[in-house]
Structure 1
Amino acid sequence: MLEEEYQTRRVLPPHLRKPAPEEAPFSYSIREAVPEDLPHVREIYNYYVTNSTVTFDDKPMTLRAWRTKYDHIRKAKMPFLVAESPNGQILGYTLVSPWSAKAGYRYTVENSIYLGPAATGKGLGTPLLEVLLDKCREAGIREVIAVIADQGAEASIRMHEKLGFKEVGRMGRVGFKFGRWLGTVTMQKSLRGKR
């Protein structure tokens, strides 16, 4: 057909157009992790191992390693939480682990939080970390430390600041990944008293 044979496409006025289907709202529930969640947790974590510098691990973690970590956290009576979609998909997880094996540090932990790629930027990180902090208070934990990469983790730093974490130190060029040197930002939140 020649161009002049095309008819101009008629566009219906807005009141006659069929409305676009509404996207379902992003929803989730937060609960304690169970052993059946570990393959999903591993998948989320290993995404960051292979695609980012937010963790300095450079080899994917095995399911066996995650089971050992899970058992260690449970034995220490520390929180390990997952965020789950209404259809059962694990969207992210957060946990704390002992800051040090020395007895004097028993009230201090290091937190970790990772969201699946499809769940980032949707407002899940802050409530997930808030619930973790509440569970830490219930467990008698006094201090929470976050060690965050100084490059590529700006959203994590902002989220921790929003929840009252304060920067307490920086270390430069302590990690090496993807052919470059990386540093860390250490943040701390005291759980004594009010939120």
Structure 2
Amino acid sequence: MADNEKYVVTEYNKRDLNSLLEFFERCLPESGRIFDPKGVHKSLLNVEKAYEYFICLKEQESGQIIGTCALKKIDDMKCELKCVYLYKKYHGMGLGTRISQLTLDRAKEQGYREVYLDTISETSGRAIKMYERLGFINVEKYHDTVKSDVFMKLILK
């Protein structure tokens, strides 16, 4: 089986909730973060309401979620790239870029002109390099956040 056939991208479905929560419980500590479903991550308990678009990258054979990416509306022209996570063992395979690009393509299809994101420099060095390859540039802080210290924007063409 070719690598691109080993993984499948699906839009989030309510049936994915338990698997999604388990994914975040296991994935976030890999980057020094703590999964807090009653606090900062409470939006993951109601994905359909919190996000305009949410995809899961799954292993084809097992159906296990190994990565996620989402869009959250800011206004009619702007949205945020959110929940870009991938188990560490899958880093360096182009899978994060794949799900990010699919999500950016959706943003463009939905008429957005700008995509923003925020992240933590201490734990997201590889991700920041990926965002730069996708065309994101550093911008000033655009919203209040407790931990994020990197803010980026992509102009969709």
Fold equivalence (TM over 0.5) = yes
The aligned counterpart of 1:60 is 36
The aligned counterpart of 2:64 is 89
Matches of 1:183 and 1:95, distance apart in 2: 17
The aligned counterpart of 1:21 is none
**Deviating 4+ runs (over 6 angstroms):** none
Change (3 A) 1:170 1:64: closer
The aligned counterpart of 1:149 is 120
Structure 2 letter corresponding to 1:160: Y
Matches of 1:170 and 1:138, distance apart in 2: 26
Contact (CA 8 Å) 1:80, 1:94: kept in 2 or not? yes
- Cα offset for 1:44? 2.5
Q: What is the TM-score normalised by the length of structure 1?
A: 0.65
Contact (CA 8 Å) 1:97, 1:110: kept in 2 or not? yes
Contact (CA 8 Å) 1:44, 1:115: kept in 2 or not? no
Structure 2 letter corresponding to 1:83: L
Alignment of 1:170-189 (within 5 A): 175=146, 184-189=149-154
Change (3 A) 1:90 1:51: closer
- The answer to whether residue 25 in structure 2 is matched with residue 29 in structure 1 is no
The aligned counterpart of 1:168 is 139
Matches of 2:77 and 2:24, distance apart in 1: 26
Q: Deviations over 1:14-49 (max 9, x none)?
A: xxxxxxxxxx65321222111122222222323354
- Cα offset for 1:64? 7.4
Alignment of 1:112-131 (within 5 A): 112=82, 113-131=84-102
Mean Cα displacement is larger for which, 111-120 or 130-139? 111-120
Which of the numbers 41, 46, 60 marks the counterpart of 2:25? 46
Mean Cα displacement is larger for which, 111-120 or 134-143? 111-120
Matches of 1:146 and 1:39, distance apart in 2: 26
| Root-mean-square deviation over aligned CA pairs | 2.6
Residues paired across the two proteins, number: 149
- The answer to whether residue 73 in structure 2 is matched with residue 98 in structure 1 is yes
The aligned counterpart of 2:80 is 110
Partner secondary structure for residue 149 of structure 2: strand
Q: What is the TM-score normalised by the length of structure 2?
A: 0.79
Partner secondary structure for residue 146 of structure 1: strand
